[in-house]
Amino acid sequence: MATLHHSPFCPQSRFIRLVLAEMGMEPILVEERAWERRDAFLLLNPAGVTPVLVEQSGLAVPGAGIIAEYLDETRGLGLSGRRLLPDITADRVEVRRLLDWFLVKFDAEVTGYLVTEKINKRFMNSSDGGGPPDMNAIRAARINVRYHLKYIGYLMARRRWIAGDHLTYADLAAAAHLSCVDYLGDVPWEEDEIARDWYARVKSRPSFRALLADRVPGMAPAEHYADLDF
Amino acid sequence: MATLHHSPFCPQSRFIRLVLAEMGMEPILVEERAWERRDAFLLLNPAGVTPVLVEQSGLAVPGAGIIAEYLDETRGLGLSGRRLLPDITADRVEVRRLLDWFLVKFDAEVTGYLVTEKINKRFMNSSDGGGPPDMNAIRAARINVRYHLKYIGYLMARRRWIAGDHLTYADLAAAAHLSCVDYLGDVPWEEDEIARDWYARVKSRPSFRALLADRVPGMAPAEHYADLDF
């Protein structure tokens, strides 16, 4: 059985939890507070970030994008019609483009700010960067999330799923990131009905259930967070 | 013939130029000032960043990491022993880990700051964010580059190339990023002889020649920049 070193509100970890659930894998979950820089964890991933997937063989696969490629190479073909990275070259380019969009760009412009400022800082010592949230960072993220939501709406007005005709890594990465922002009540869903409908569809999948059950200690989610008919 | 939309001192573009040269491909080069957000360029890559590879068929492949995966899938097998993403699963994980390290982490901590502040801002209008360099950003990058250099030295004390026994994408990405920093004279080579020797080896490859000939208008490179025996 594989082990996933993750953090419940790390959006990159959530993405991999969704991927594993869609693939029918049930890893052992080990919670990691990346900012504590535990020695044994740094050996698994010198970059010091979650998630890291460790196979029963001992092979450590660090980082969400790298795990996604690894799982496609080792388990993708067995999924046939439900493969999350498509077979056709041009479709793979589009999935990877959007995967990068959410794992890197959305993270840098939205989720990184919000999760750090509103969640992680509550649990960090001041020597690790803990303390009150930086309101400028939160404001920037709230502005940025609006154009990303509009972009999802733009794509979904033209496609069945974010990267094309099928559910792919791109949907799971986008939904994983949005789920963190949604917990915090910072997604202006009323601004884009098409994006909201897409998210409701992904959120209704069985793979999403475990994510919706997670809670930040001492911080309730936005009212509609776990509501499938929000 | 393929076309590469690039910028001469965009480190991600330099990485792909090295990859294409190692693969024996000679693309048409189109220089792109990403901050001008040209409409036709945004159609090729909605994220608005270089590089973008456009195949003769019209297929646009945007972003350095995505292009690297695409080229491996479409041309990698033809390279046999000179393949830049190895055949073995665990080796692929290691190459992708380090590729991500340089394309995302090193970029966010070092190259992004230095290239934006010292080079791009000279050519941007003030409405695009042009103006004098932010010295705090430059100072942060100069501090950060030191531990990255040490990490390269650490790896190279144990391996023939950065990710293992063979030249891979990881070496080319690391060297592409360092080449931008080196142009600006901001790599403290004297702090790590092993890292310097590795860089001298990569820099001596024929694929590197075109990069070493590029100049920022009005800004000479550091004295040793194009010197293969620095």
* CATH number of B18's domain: 3.40.30.10
- Residues 6+ positions from B104 with CB-CB distance below 8 Å: A104
Picking from B73, B96, B105, the nearest residue to A66 by CB comes out as B96
Same-domain check for residues B185 and B112:
yes
Cis before A133? omega within 30: no
Same-domain check for residues B11 and B38:
yes
- Chain A residues within an 8 Å CB radius of B61: 93
- Chain A residues within an 8 Å CB radius of B152: none
Q: Is the pLDDT score of A229 beyond 80?
A: no
Q: pLDDT for B157-169, tens place per residue?
A: 999 999 999 999 9
Same-domain check for residues B106 and B77:
no
Q: Last residue of a domain, which of B82, B116, B137?
A: B82
Tokens of A185: 């009540």
CA A145 to CA A154: how far, in whole Å?
Answer: 14
B92–A70: do the CB atoms touch at under 8 Å? yes
Same-domain check for residues B68 and B114:
no
Instruction: Say what the pLDDT of residue B77 is.
Output: 83
Same-domain check for residues A76 and A107:
no
Q: pLDDT for A81-96, tens place per residue?
A: 899 999 999 999 999 9
Whole-number percent of chain B with pLDDT over 70: 100
Average pLDDT over residues B148-162: 98
Into how many domains does chain B fold?
Answer: 2
CA A141 to CA A137: how far, in whole Å?
Answer: 6
Instruction: Classify residue A219: in a domain, yes or no.
Output: no
Mutate to test the interface with B, among A104, A113, A152, A162 (most CBs of B within 10 A): A104
Instruction: Say what the pLDDT of residue B230 is.
Output: 75
Same-domain check for residues B99 and B73:
no
For the ranges A81-85, B27-31, B56-60, the lowest mean pLDDT is seen at A81-85
Total beta-carbon pairs less than 8 A apart between chain A and chain B = 62
Confidence band, pLDDT 50/70/90 cuts, at residue B79: confident
Average pLDDT over residues B29-40: 95
Instruction: Say what the pLDDT of residue B76 is.
Output: 87
Same-domain check for residues B99 and B68:
no
The stretches of chain B forming alpha helices (DSSP H) are 11-22, 39-44, 64-75, 89-100, 112-114, 121-123, 135-156, 169-183, 193-203, 209-213
The alpha carbon torsion through B11, B16, B20, B23 (nearest 10 deg) reads: 100
Which residue segment(s) compose the domain that B38 sits in?
Answer: 3-82
Instruction: Say what the pLDDT of residue A79 is.
Output: 86
Q: Is the pLDDT score of B37 beyond 90?
A: yes
Average pLDDT over residues B4-31: 97
Picking from A59, A92, A100, the nearest residue to B90 by CB comes out as A59
Instruction: Say what the pLDDT of residue B128 is.
Output: 86
Same-domain check for residues A53 and A109:
no
Picking from A65, A74, A93, the nearest residue to B89 by CB comes out as A74
Same-domain check for residues B62 and B164:
no
Confidence band, pLDDT 50/70/90 cuts, at residue A201: very high
Task: Count CB neighbours of B3 within 10 A.
Answer: 16
Q: pLDDT for A125-167, tens place per residue?
A: 998 889 999 999 999 999 999 999 999 999 999 999 999 999 9
Tokens of B192: 């790590």
- DSSP 3-state of B26: coil
Cis before B51? omega within 30: yes
Q: Is the pLDDT score of B70 beyond 90?
A: yes
A66–B105: do the CB atoms touch at under 8 Å? no
Confidence band, pLDDT 50/70/90 cuts, at residue A112: very high
Confidence band, pLDDT 50/70/90 cuts, at residue B175: very high
Long-range own/partner contacts, residues A139-145 (CB < 8 A, 24 or more apart): A140/A109, A140/A113, A141/A109, A141/A110, A141/A111, A141/A113, A141/A114, A141/A181, A141/A186, A142/A186, A144/A109, A144/A110, A145/A110, A145/A181, A145/A186, A145/A187, A145/A188
Average pLDDT over residues A94-100: 98
Instruction: Say what the pLDDT of residue B228 is.
Output: 84
Q: What is the mean pLDDT of chain A?
A: 96
Confidence band, pLDDT 50/70/90 cuts, at residue A10: very high
- CA angle, corner B208, sides to B202 and B214, nearest 5? 135
Instruction: Say what the pLDDT of residue B80 is.
Output: 81
ipTM above 0.90, yes or no: yes
Q: Is the pLDDT score of B65 beyond 90?
A: yes
Mutate to test the interface with A, among B67, B97, B105, B152 (most CBs of A within 10 A): B97
Same-domain check for residues B144 and B199:
yes
Instruction: Classify residue B96: in a domain, yes or no.
Output: yes
Q: Is the pLDDT score of B72 beyond 80?
A: yes
Q: pLDDT for A33-60, tens place per residue?
A: 999 999 999 999 999 999 999 999 999 9
Q: Which residues of A touch B (CB under 8 A)?
A: 45-47, 59, 61-63, 65-66, 69-70, 73-74, 89-90, 92-93, 96-97, 100-101, 104-105, 108, 151
Instruction: Say what the pLDDT of residue A114 is.
Output: 98
Average pLDDT over residues A173-200: 98
Backbone angles phi, psi at A56, to 5 degrees: -55, -30
CA B66 to CA B53: how far, in whole Å?
Answer: 10
Instruction: Classify residue A39: in a domain, yes or no.
Output: yes
Same-domain check for residues A117 and A177:
yes
Instruction: Classify residue A220: in a domain, yes or no.
Output: no
Average pLDDT over residues B72-80: 89
Tokens of A201: 């569809």
Instruction: Say what the pLDDT of residue B229 is.
Output: 77
